Amino acid sequence: MSRRDPSFRFARAEFLLLLGVALALAAGCGPRQESAPPAPPTVVLVTIDTLRADRLGCYGRKGAGTPHLDRLAAEGARFARAQATAPLTLPSHASILSGRTVPAHGVRNNGTFALPSAVETIAEVLRAAGWETGAFVSSQVLARRYGLDQGFDVYDDRVPRPAARAGLVVHYGERPGRVTVDRALAWLATRKEPAFLWVHLWEPHFPYAPPPPFRERFPEDPYQGEVATADAAVGRLVDGIEALREGGRLLVAVVADHGESLGEHGESTHGVFVYGATIHVPLIVWGPGYRVRPGVVPEPASTADLAPTLLDLLGMPALEGADGASWAGRLRGEAQERPRLAAFAESHEPLLEFGWSGLRTVVFDHWRFVDAPREELYDLEADPGETENLAPRRPAIVGTARELLADMLRRARAAAPVADASREVSEEDLAELRSLGYAASGRRGGGEKLVDPERPDPKDRVEFLGRYDRALALLGRGKVDEAIREFAELARQDPRNPSLLLQWGQALILAKRLPEARKVYERLVAVDPAFGLGWYRLAQVRDNLGDLAGAEAAYRKAIEVDPLAVDPRKALASLLADRGRVREAIDVLEKARDLDPGDEAIRRDLERFWKKLQGG
């Protein structure tokens, strides 16, 4: 019988109930069994986006402004060398929830992949056992359409989205952590134990804009200000849950999905490289009621280990297909062999977004090995900044690293789902990803060799990447003319880079140089006719220049390229209605409603169009 079969889930829940009764009877007839887990508690998983480990007080930073996380670390278990599975939000969260590394779950990039239904999550295991499950996320990068809602009774991804035709350049907002926490607490207040709650905080993701008082406390370091903002949200959450569950058992795990380069190795944010700045993350497990002993786990661990560890602490069945390891015995202070000798991560963004070679890394003992066209090896004890490549001088260590990595990849691939995790991506998804600083070309890939010596090594493209990031930063700071000049120069170096052409065009839009923007977007769709967002932006520019026929054609092309797109349909419907073609507008908008039934703007426009059609 398949573990995905509903009858199996019922049987497992019934078994666990009987097991609980048996344990209770045993407790009344003899000595208490220390190995038996206590009654089901509230389990809380907090994921903090883009948080470097070395920016927390408990990981050694003075004046970090993180008292709440520091308290959990002091009273619980702190993993000193936890490694993310990827330097991107969606792939990493897929690992955290499924207990699988990237090759085992198949989600390789933001926006263009979704977790296959064949991959079991911690929420599915708990819900099958009768738990209440709720998720509250702070960014559309983790919207339910990417598959992470599997197993959750409630999946709150309601983050503000703008109208499609209101402006040319879309800037998507994030949901502040305090708002997400308040919604999570409101849900939990109506739930009974046992309950599993996942809360995702977007701070300290770029762009960094901490609110008062953290803006004033860290005036020269807005990233740290957002770190402190996230810490305050964690404190608000834990305090709120302790008040709601007074006297109840509480198990809390806090982990970052990845870190942030902040200029190290020539990368301003994250996504490309796999050095410690983006891969070494904080991981804390706090659970006095589950005998989680205070202490530090010094060995390399993976964020894919978290779900297996939590389920083991709870005495629950293991995740199907997980290649993550359980550290539950170590956390309880039991004698246990090292569950993991090494931890690895991989980055597909260089390949999928820039056409460069992808990267992998493995951490073991005190070494970091980077599998790249030119291999890298760093002694993390002697060189924590990873500045001296020892690979040419330490061939034996490199050989060991290759063997470890090959073994881990074999095991991960053996568990890989049959279903393809790649998905058709909509233009609004791409727009949002780019507004958040990701390249997001929309390329899905999957058959390419990740580490490919025939492709450029990303470390040889640091200057280009740095200039590209600086141009984006200039754009973000409102220095539009400077950004335009930088994009134009980069376009001379790489004239067929769709993501670069997109950003150049958006800078021209912000400068109100729409005729020039139209030329750039016409060039973009000529370079890549399947680039749906390019067609959408071209349509918007033509629309604003008064070329309504040209705009209509480009909107329709955007829809043809990506039938799942919503925003081009909304914009096209608005244009058709303005031109008196209301019946056509309704047809287009009804399809948009089918794709996104929760969009209130679509509902309001449909009501308005129907009234107009009926002469109301």
| pLDDT single digits (tens) 118-133 | 999 999 999 999 999 9
Give yes or no: residues 278 and 132 share one domain.
Answer: yes
Give yes or no: residues 163 and 285 share one domain.
Answer: yes
pLDDT reading at 7 higher than 50? no
Give yes or no: residues 452 and 333 share one domain.
Answer: no
Q: Which residues pair with 295 in a beta bridge?
A: 77
Give yes or no: residues 181 and 50 share one domain.
Answer: yes
Among 86-95, 326-335, 341-350, 556-565, which is the least confidently predicted range? 556-565
Residue 348 belongs to a domain: no
Residue 59 belongs to a domain: yes
End-to-end CA distance of the chain: 58
Give yes or no: residues 177 and 296 share one domain.
Answer: yes
| pLDDT single digits (tens) 350-368 | 887 777 899 999 999 999 9
Residue 583 belongs to a domain: yes
Whether 384 and 367 have beta carbons less than 8 Å apart is answered as no
Backbone dihedral angles phi then psi of residue 56, each to the nearest 5 degrees:
-105, 145
Give yes or no: residues 337 and 471 share one domain.
Answer: no
Q: What tokens appear for 408 in the block?
A: 């881990």
Give yes or no: residues 310 and 457 share one domain.
Answer: no
| Strands 42-48 and 295-302, sheet pairing | unpaired
**Which of 276, 307, 342 is a domain's end point?**
342
**Domain boundaries, position 563:** 448-613
Structure pTM?
A: 0.81
CATH number of the domain to which 214 belongs: 3.40.720.10
Residue 553 belongs to a domain: yes
Q: What tokens appear for 45 in the block?
A: 């998983």
248's CB contacts (< 8 A; 6+ apart) are 41, 42, 193
Residue 452 belongs to a domain: yes
| pLDDT single digits (tens) 96-152 | 999 999 999 999 988 778 899 999 999 999 999 999 999 999 998 898 888 899 999
Residue 259: name the closest of 231, 287, 227, 235 by CA. 227
Q: Which residue has the higher pLDDT, 542 or 248?
A: 542
- pLDDT confidence of residue 427: 57
Q: What tokens appear for 492 in the block?
A: 């001379």
Q: What does the pLDDT average to over 237-260? A: 92
Give yes or no: residues 129 and 260 share one domain.
Answer: yes
CATH number of the domain to which 511 belongs: 1.25.40.10
**Which of 317, 342, 367 is a domain's end point?**
342
The total number of structural domains in the chain stands at 2
Give yes or no: residues 54 and 188 share one domain.
Answer: yes
- pLDDT confidence of residue 562: 67
Residue 447 has a CB neighbour count (10 Å cut-off) of 5
Give yes or no: residues 225 and 97 share one domain.
Answer: yes
Q: Which residues pair with 133 in a beta bridge?
A: 196
Q: DSSP assignment of 311-376, as one string? A: HHHTTPPPPTT------HHHHTT-----S-SEEEEEE-HHHHHHSS--EEEEEETTEEEEESSS-E
Q: What tokens appear for 346 in the block?
A: 């991989």
Residue 393 belongs to a domain: no
Residue 400 belongs to a domain: no
Q: DSSP assignment of 91-141, as one string? A: HHHHHHHHS--HHHH---SSSSB---TTS--HHHHHHHTT-EEEEE-SSGG
- Say how far apart CA 128 and CA 534 lie, in whole Å: 44
Average model confidence (pLDDT) across the chain = 86
Residues comprising the chain, all counted = 616
Residue 420 belongs to a domain: no
- Which 8-state DSSP code applies to residue 414? H
Q: Which residue has the higher pLDDT, 250 or 171?
A: 250
pLDDT reading at 318 higher than 80? yes
Give yes or no: residues 160 and 292 share one domain.
Answer: yes
- For residue 571, give Cα distances in angstroms to 161, 369, 389, 536, 591: 14, 48, 52, 9, 13
Give yes or no: residues 282 and 155 share one domain.
Answer: yes
**Which of 327, 342, 357 is a domain's end point?**
342
Residue 147: name the closest of 126, 172, 119 by CA. 119
SS3 label, residue 456 = coil
